Structures are given as structure tokens and as C-alpha cells.
């Protein structure tokens, strides 16, 4: 029976060695897959960060373009409209002195009162819109940065827990 016990002991030792080899191979495989997953997650976070920054830059560019167009309209077209109005008033003034007197008074009243108020209101509304859009853009940019930071922290924490538990 001693020979049989020896064979059993050798079989047990072989099984233990095979089990250890299998465990080591599995652990290395899991570790390699975790490292690959970590690298992919990090790459994804970096790419997402770049895309968010690109979107923020694009949004700022659109906002700046809108500001320029509104300013150009107010400065150019508004003046052109005013100039055209003056020209029409002058044409009417050439027709009759009475119409000239009335037209000058009404044009002056309009320019000094309601027209100026309308121009200022339009300018204020454009300014408010631009400011509100800028604030919203800043908020969206901040939210995107916070979300990215949270994602990075969670990913980092996830991998730290994985690798600390090894």
C-alpha cells in the first residue's frame, strides 16, 4: 500500500501544481484584461475631453460670430435706415415748405423719442441675448467639465479598487 499511497500523493501534488498553474494563468489573464480595459477607458476619457473642448470652442466661435453680425447690423443697417429716412424727408421738403415743416417736426420727434427708444431697445435686447447665450455657454462648458471630471474620478476609483483588491 505504500506504493499506492505514493502514487496518490504524486497525483495530489500534480493536481495542486496544475491548479496553481491554472490560477496563475487566470490571474495574469484577468490582470492583462483589466489593464487593457483601463487603457481603453483612459483613452475614451481623453477623447471625450477633447471633443467637449472642441464643442465648447465651436460654441464660443458661433457666439462670437452672432455678436459680430448683430453689431454689424446695428452699426451699418441701422444707420442706413436712418439715412434713407432723412433722404425721404428731404425729398418731401423740396415739394412743399408746409410738408417740410411738418415732416421735420415729426422726423425729429421720431428720431429723438420713439426711434431712439426702439434703437436702444433693439440694442439692449441683442446685448441681453448675447449675454444670456454667453452665460448658457459658460454653464454648459462648466457642466461638461464637471461631468468629465466625475467620469475620470469614477474610472480612476474603479481601477484603483480593482488593482487594490489584487
Give the tens place of pLDDT for each residue, 44-77: 777 877 888 888 888 888 888 878 887 776 677 6
Separation between Cα atoms, residue 49 and residue 148, nearest integer Å = 7
In angstroms, what is the C-alpha Rg of the chain? Answer: 38
Number of domains comprising the chain: 1
Task: Evaluate whether 112 touches 101 at the Cβ level (below 8 Å).
Answer: no
**Domain range for 80:** 45-164
pLDDT at position 69: 81
Please report whether residue 38 resides in a domain. Answer: no
Please report whether residue 20 resides in a domain. Answer: no
Please report whether residue 9 resides in a domain. Answer: no
pLDDT greater than 70 at residue 20 = yes
Separation between Cα atoms, residue 104 and residue 89, nearest integer Å = 7
Please report whether residue 18 resides in a domain. Answer: no
pLDDT interval class at 95 (50, 70, 90):
low
**Contact residues for 141 (Cβ-Cβ < 8 A; gap 6+):** 56, 59
pLDDT interval class at 91 (50, 70, 90):
low
Separation between Cα atoms, residue 120 and residue 126, nearest integer Å = 10
**Mean of pLDDT over the chain:** 76
Please report whether residue 15 resides in a domain. Answer: no
Mean pLDDT over residues 89-114, rounded? Answer: 64
pLDDT at position 78: 63
Please report whether residue 136 resides in a domain. Answer: yes
Give the pTM. Answer: 0.33
CB atoms < 10 A from the CB of 19, how many? Answer: 10
Please report whether residue 58 resides in a domain. Answer: yes
pLDDT interval class at 165 (50, 70, 90):
low
Please report whether residue 6 resides in a domain. Answer: no
Helix-helix angle 97-110:78-95, to 10 degrees: 160
Residue 165 φ/ψ, nearest 5 degrees: -80, -10
Amino acid at each position: 500500500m505504500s506504493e499506492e499511497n505514493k502514487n496518490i500523493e504524486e497525483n495530489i501534488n500534480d493536481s495542486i501544481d496544475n491548479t496553481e498553474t491554472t490560477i496563475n494563468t487566470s490571474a495574469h489573464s484577468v490582470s492583462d484584461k483589466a489593464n487593457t480595459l483601463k487603457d481603453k477607458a483612459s483613452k475614451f476619457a481623453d477623447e471625450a475631453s477633447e471633443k467637449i473642448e472642441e464643442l465648447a470652442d465651436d460654441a464660443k466661435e458661433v457666439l462670437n460670430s452672432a455678436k459680430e453680425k448683430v453689431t454689424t447690423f446695428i452699426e451699418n443697417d441701422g444707420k442706413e435706415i436712418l439715412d434713407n429716412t432723412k433722404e425721404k424727408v428731404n425729398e418731401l421738403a423740396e415739394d412743399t415748405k408746409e410738408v417740410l415743416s411738418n415732416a421735420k417736426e415729426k422726423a425729429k420727434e421720431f428720431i429723438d423719442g420713439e426711434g431712439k427708444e426702439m434703437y436702444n431697445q433693439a440694442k439692449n435686447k441683442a446685448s441681453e441675448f448675447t449675454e444670456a447665450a454667453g452665460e448658457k455657454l459658460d454653464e454648459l462648458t462648466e457642466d461638461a467639465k464637471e461631468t468629465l471630471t466625475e467620469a475620470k474620478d469614477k474610472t480612476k476609483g474603479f481601477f484603483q479598487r480593482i488593482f487594490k483588491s489584487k
